[in-house]
Chain A
């Protein structure tokens, strides 16, 4: 789960990571009031989960209340790469003497948190990594040992931070590590991490990704989820306990198991089609779950044909067939369906479908055959 900048900064503040004072605003008047509270000059910052908002006009400096109003009016409702700005973060503007970069990532390969520090902050770090990998100091921390003071010193010296801020930068990294572990994040990134002319060190931005599987231990963080930011089909699927990802094609896809679902999308693409979604109906899918999944798929108006690809293990194909029959009784879809049922109770499932004589449903024996057929139907409109 990705947090907005201000949500990340609030987590930072809770763990002693220094951040500029700020206030959240969702209306122009709130923004003007917030600006008055934090003082001028202040930064009016769009809260969207996308990088590069500064360049697109999503961050502006206000020197008085009139400017704060003007900027808030301009930014609220603005479209930043397809995302509408609904929230602002108003924060005291910072003087910058140096811009650093700091992050902690969950390194799957090393099975350890990876802490990175660079004095080349404020720019695209992937570009720095490519052009000048030596400019980024890296250190894996043994998760059973935790982050020690020497880790902070080593990173700070290796990155070449200015001598007088080695200690506060090390201290800030230790606090970030605390955020990473105690909030169960998979990413904590600060770009830029600034040094002010008064030689204070502060996180000027915050990018935090939390582990969705750990939210049961963090009810406060779970409440940060913003359902309005999600795609309508994805939200509908989440409410029904289905794993759904919206894609940009016109062939609705339902399969069971994450791997087979991904593979089905690939086989559809290989056959020349464009999948509209990923939908894993899960293991042991019952009829109701299938009916529900069909509703989610068909709620996407671009879908012109639907492919069911089931290899039953725990999932029983007769249950899937019953779910599909029920879905047709409830919804009466106007687009063609291609169904491939194999594995546990495959023959029973296919027989149920044959007996039901559903209009517009083709049964195919193989995954490849089903993909070819659904691509053809999407093209010709059934």
Chain B
């Protein structure tokens, strides 16, 4: 198995007619993802390289059975697009868009949680790849093959870095999940850790965190209590100064809160190995898996 996306995924892209939306949707389809539709209001009836475009998500669900949405619209329209997908009954919504206002994210998160119908992954994330099955998002799939390492990360390129070192050691992945670098991610480490714990393909979990917030600390507690599979962690931002946003809206040390050192310590105290460099993480993973 794998988690979140696989052969059953029926993808619909919001913003499919935009430059990035078209490019990545077609890349996802080339990889083998079952892309069934796109949504761009006002462009219903057109197609993007054979993929039918609808005006609304409800049409895409009704006529093409879409069950997964990928959001590629600009930040000011993204919250509305997520809510539209949820309203149409889409189960999994993957939001790639970066720069969504924080209060929009707060509202969307709380509405989705209250309704309990859909899962949001992102925003500001690279998406989800289940090698050999489906790719939803912008992860460059060619570096990854199917295997037994599950990866969950707040950062895209850092994931590729760790994944490529693992691949050089001969290991592949069950799924790679980018939860995104924003302050209010729809899905957090704990959600994904539980999914990997329940996934029989996954034998080792790599958790890739960064400064800001307390998601890594909460994940550390959760691992100690609920996760039986080995977990190796990496935290980016040891050298980040307080009060500066390091690229991701969520990556900021506020006063003494959210530092990389505190996160690494919380994880290590609960028995999670924390690599100091991406290479160390991959080497430790290889060692645990007997590579």
Closest chain A CB from B248 CB (angstroms): 4
* Bound-complex Cα distance A133 to B291 (A): 50
Mark out the residues of chain A between 251 and 303 whose CB falls within 8 Å of any chain B CB in the assembled complex: 255-263, 265-270, 275, 278, 280, 283
Pair B157/A266 contact, Cβ less than 8 Å: no
Known interface pairs A262-B240, A343-B140; 16 further A-B residue pairs with C-beta atoms within 8 A, sorted by A's residue number? A109-B218, A111-B109, A142-B110, A213-B75, A216-B76, A217-B101, A258-B247, A259-B155, A259-B159, A262-B211, A262-B239, A263-B234, A265-B239, A278-B246, A313-B157, A314-B138
Produce 1/0 per residue, A302-340, CB < 8 A to B: 000000000111100000000000000000000000000
Closest chain A CB from B15 CB (angstroms): 16
Contact of B184 among A108, A126, A270, A367 (CB under 8 A): A108
Closest chain B CB from A256 CB (angstroms): 6
Contact of A112 among B106, B142, B212, B277 (CB under 8 A): B106
Pair B157/A259 contact, Cβ less than 8 Å: yes
* Consensus secondary structure, chain A interface: mixed
Look across to chain B and name the residue whose beta carbon is closest to the beta carbon of A183: B103
The range of chain A's interface size is 35 or more
Tally the A-B contacts, defined by beta carbons under 8 Å. Answer: 169
* Bound-complex Cα distance A161 to B248 (A): 39
Determine if A66 is an interface residue (Cβ-Cβ < 8 Å): no
Q: Which residues of A contact B237 (CB under 8 A)?
A: 262-263, 265-266
Determine if A344 is an interface residue (Cβ-Cβ < 8 Å): yes
Mark out the residues of chain A between 203 and 222 whose CB falls within 8 Å of any chain B CB in the assembled complex: 211, 213-214, 216-217
Closest chain B CB from A34 CB (angstroms): 31
Q: Which residues of B contact A344 (CB under 8 A)?
A: 140, 142
Closest chain B CB from A11 CB (angstroms): 15
Q: Which residues of B contact A211 (CB under 8 A)?
A: 101-103
Asked whether A247 and B110 contact (CB < 8 A) given A111-B184, A266-B236, A283-B138, the answer is: no
Produce 1/0 per residue, B164-199, CB < 8 A to A: 100000000000000001011000000000000000
Pair B241/A366 contact, Cβ less than 8 Å: no
Closest chain A CB from B40 CB (angstroms): 21
Interfacial residues, chain A to chain B (CB-CB below 8 A): 106, 108-109, 111-113, 126, 142-144, 181, 184, 186, 211, 213-214, 216-217, 243, 245, 247, 255-263, 265-270, 275, 278, 280, 283, 311-314, 342-344, 366-368
Closest chain A CB from B257 CB (angstroms): 10
Q: Which residues of B contact A184 (CB under 8 A)?
A: 101-103
Pair B240/A265 contact, Cβ less than 8 Å: yes
Mark out the residues of chain B between 133 and 153 whose CB falls within 8 Å of any chain A CB in the assembled complex: 138-140, 142-143, 153
Look across to chain A and name the residue whose beta carbon is closest to the beta carbon of B104: A214
Closest chain A CB from B118 CB (angstroms): 16
* Bound-complex Cα distance A368 to B282 (A): 13
Asked whether A260 and B140 contact (CB < 8 A) given A108-B184, A366-B279, the answer is: no
Q: Which residues of B contact A269 (CB under 8 A)?
A: 238-239
29 A-B interface contacts by CB (under 8 A): A111-B110, A112-B106, A211-B101, A214-B103, A217-B76, A245-B244, A245-B245, A247-B239, A247-B241, A257-B156, A257-B158, A259-B154, A259-B157, A259-B210, A259-B236, A260-B158, A260-B160, A260-B161, A263-B158, A265-B238, A266-B276, A268-B239, A270-B276, A278-B240, A278-B244, A283-B157, A311-B157, A311-B164, A313-B157
